[in-house]
Amino acid sequence: MRKFLLFFGVFFTTVLLGAQELKLEHTNAPDKVPFAQPFTLQYHFSYPAGYQPVWDQAHTSKEFEVRLVQSAQQAPNAAGFDFSVIPFTLGKSTFTISFQLKQGDTLSEPQSFSLPLEVTPVKTFNDKKIREIRPPFKIRGWFWLLVLLALAALICAIYYWKNRRKTTQHLQVTAVQDTRPSHVIALSKIEALLQSGLWENEQYKVFYITLVDILREYLQRRFNLDVSAETSSELIAHIKTKEELQSFVSALRTLLNESDLIKFAKAVPEEAQRNRHIVLLRDLVQQTTPRETPQNEVKK
C-alpha cells in the first residue's frame, strides 16, 4: 500500500509539474547583429506560484556563445533574464534558448524559445583620410653605424671585384701575347721551375705537376696536340702519332709513370731521377725544334 501511495504521489507531482507552463511575456532583442560581436538579449517570463524559472544551458544553441549577465525577480510570479550573446554564424539564423521550472529539487521538462536573427559580416574601416598617429621613427646612433658598416663592406667588395677582374684580364692578355717560339717558352719554363724552390721545399707533387704541364704545353704549341686534359696513357698514344717523337716514347712513358707515382702515391723522387727527367725534357725540346734554313742556301 505504501509503495502504491509513493508511486501515485510521484506520478501526480510529475504530471502537475509538467502541466505548469513558463510564459514568455516579451523579449528585447535586435533583428540584425554583427558577426562575432556581443549583443544584449532580455527575456521576461511569468510562471505559476511556487515555482522558479532557471536557464537550461544544455539545450541552448551551440552556434552562439551565451553568458548570463543578470536574473531578477520582477514580481511574485515574474522574472527577467539578461544575456550577453556572441554569434558565430553568418546569414539568417535562429537563436534557441531553454528554461525549466524548478520546485525544490524537481525540474520540469525544458521549454525552448526561438528567436530569428540575421548575422551580418563585420564592417571594416576603409577611410582614405586616415592618418598615421604613431610618433615618427627616431633614427638611433647604432642605425647610422650599421649603415656605415654596410657601405664600407660594399665599397670593399666592389674594389676587390674590380681588382680581381683587372688581374685576370692582365693574366689572360699576358698569356695571349706570348708570341715566342714554342721551344723558347718551354726551355724558359724549365729554368723557372728549377729556380722556383719547389724541389728544395720538398714540394715534389707540385714540381712534377708543373713539369708535365710544360711537356703538355710544348706538345700543343709545337705539334698542335690537344693533350691538356688527357691521362698519361692517352698522352703516350698521341705522342706515337708524331714521327719526330718516336725515339722519345719509351723515355716519356717512364717519365709519366714515375710522375703519377709521385703525384698520386706520394712517392719521394731522388735528385738523380729529377735530373734525368729534366735532361729528357730539354733534349725533346731541342731535338724537335724546327731548323732554320741558312740564307746562302735560300739564295741558291
Q: How many CB atoms lie within 10 A of CB 239?
A: 22
What is the DSSP secondary-structure string of 151-188? HHHHHHHHHHHHHHHHHHHHHHHHHHT--S-HHHHHHH
Residues present in the chain in total: 300
Cell of 21: 507552463
Helices then strands, each counted (H, E), the chain: 8, 9
Give the model's pLDDT for residue 15.
43
What is the mean pLDDT for each group of 10 consecutive residues in the chain (300 residues)?
46 46 84 88 88 88 87 86 90 90 88 90 66 64 82 91 72 62 92 93 93 92 86 89 90 92 91 94 91 54
Cα 77 from Cα 45, distance rounded (Å)? 8
SS3 call for 216: helix
**Whole-angstrom Cα distance, residue 22 to residue 8?**
25
8 A C-beta contact, residue 64 and residue 95: yes
Q: Where are the domains of the chain?
A: 18-120, 142-177, 179-290
Name the residue type at position 83. F
Amino acid in the structure at residue 45: F
Q: At 45, is the secondary structure helix, strand, or coil? A: strand
**pLDDT at 21 (0 to 100):** 79
* Separation between Cα atoms, residue 132 and residue 138, nearest integer Å: 15
Q: Give the pLDDT confidence score for residue 171 in this predicted structure.
A: 55
Global pTM value: 0.42
Secondary element (H or E) of residue 139? none
Extract long-range pairs of 155-158: CB within 8 Å, 24+ residues apart. none
18-120: in CATH 2.60.40.10: yes
The string of pLDDT tens digits covering residues 254-276 is 999 999 999 898 899 999 999 99
**Closest CA relative to residue 56, chosen from 102, 2, 89:** 102
Question: How far is it, in rounded angstroms, from Cα 71 to Cα 81?
Answer: 4
pLDDT tens readout for residues 86-120: 998 888 989 999 999 888 888 888 999 998 989 98
